[in-house]
Amino acid sequence: MTGIPQGSSVRRAITVGQALTAARRRLENAAVESAHVEARRLLALALDVDSQQVVMERDRPLSRNQEGRVTRLVERRIAGEPLQHIEGTAAFRDLVLSCDGRALIPRPETEQLVELINGWARRRCGSGPLRMARPPVSTVLDIGTGSGAIALALLSERTAGRALGLDVSADALAVARENRRLSGLEDRFDLAACGPDPYAALERGRRFEVIVSNPPYVRDSELARLQPEVRWHEPRIALSGGADGLAVIRRIVRGARGRLEPGGALFLEVGAGQGNPVADLLAGAGPWSAVTVRADLADRDRFVVAEV
């Protein structure tokens, strides 16, 4: 009879449930918000299954390779790498976008910006649904398009017929092209590089029904105080708004009125406390039929809308 050689031991495999509990505790100890949700998503990624299977197969044993993969993914998250970068994707409204460090991770607040445009478009064409034969907004200019999230959402939800995305970052434009392909919207979404003055990249006289931007608006003095996962892993060019956070916004506001069709509107996402200063900038760059500051779901001033 052959026994276990002296001095050796048999490794007892841990289960999915045990790995999930250990991952959650490590994330909690590292002060990761929603640690239970993130642990489940990291397990799902490590095992190449969906999150529901992680819950349903708690008693399934892990191989040594799977256990090591779980450990490595959890360590990346604890080190501050955003979950979306680890997974390689970010959910934005009905889209799943490619996501890495080349472009800003789309935020829930920016989903509200899209809904704000949708509501404005509904009011323009009546109270009916937006999913009609002809989109209510024919042309959109997305300044600082980043991953392309805003423009792609407006196109996929048929709020807009065509969109042009501009960005100063070649890396961001590469991500936007990938997301354009993944979304099947190559024929409706154009992309182009621009300089500090975005309007200089446009043909003379070209106008749009909607101009939208989620520009860099963080004060340079505040960059060092951002959360580590933002400070270390998000592109600085997508964050830095100059000394007062308004440097890029000023350039957008300065030329917007002359690039909007009659009846069009400019939609801006801004930082906390910037609503009234941006409204003042717009007042000096009018005339506008209306300028309004809108709050996000946390009741912070977040969006400024200027209508021609």
Q: Per-domain residue ranges for the chain?
A: 16-79, 100-307
pLDDT one-digit tens code per residue, 102-150: 999 999 999 999 999 999 998 887 755 555 568 999 999 999 999 999 9
pLDDT higher than threshold 90 for residue 5? no
Interior angle at CA 243, CA 241 and CA 244, nearest 5: 75
Q: Exposure pattern of 98-109 as b/e (b: 16+ CB <10 Å)? A: bbbebbbbbeee
What fold is seen in the domain 100-307?
A: Rossmann fold (3.40.50)
Instruction: Return the pLDDT at 131.
Output: 52
Instruction: Band the pLDDT of 2: cuts 50, 70, 90.
Output: very low
Average pLDDT of the residues in 192-206: 97
- Residue 133 contacts residue 125 (beta carbons within 8 Å): no
H helix runs in 30-169, sequence order: 35-47, 51-56, 64-78, 83-87, 108-125, 149-156
* Token output for 266: 């400019």
Buried (b) or exposed (e) across 184-205, using 16+ Cβ within 10 A?
Answer: ebeebbebeebeeebbebbeee
pLDDT at 39: 97
% of the chain surpassing 90 pLDDT: 89
In this structure, what are the phi and psi dihedrals at residue 15, rounded to the nearest 5 degrees?
A: -95, 170
Percent of the chain at pLDDT > 70 equals 94
* Topology at the third CATH level for domain 16-79: Helicase, Ruva Protein; domain 3 (1.10.8)
What number of other Cβ atoms are within 10 A of residue 110's Cβ? 23
Quick: pLDDT tens for 24-59: 999 999 999 999 999 999 999 999 999 899 989 999
Calculate Rg over the CA atoms of the chain. 23
Token representation of residue 302: 């977040």
Element (H, E) at 29: helix 16-29
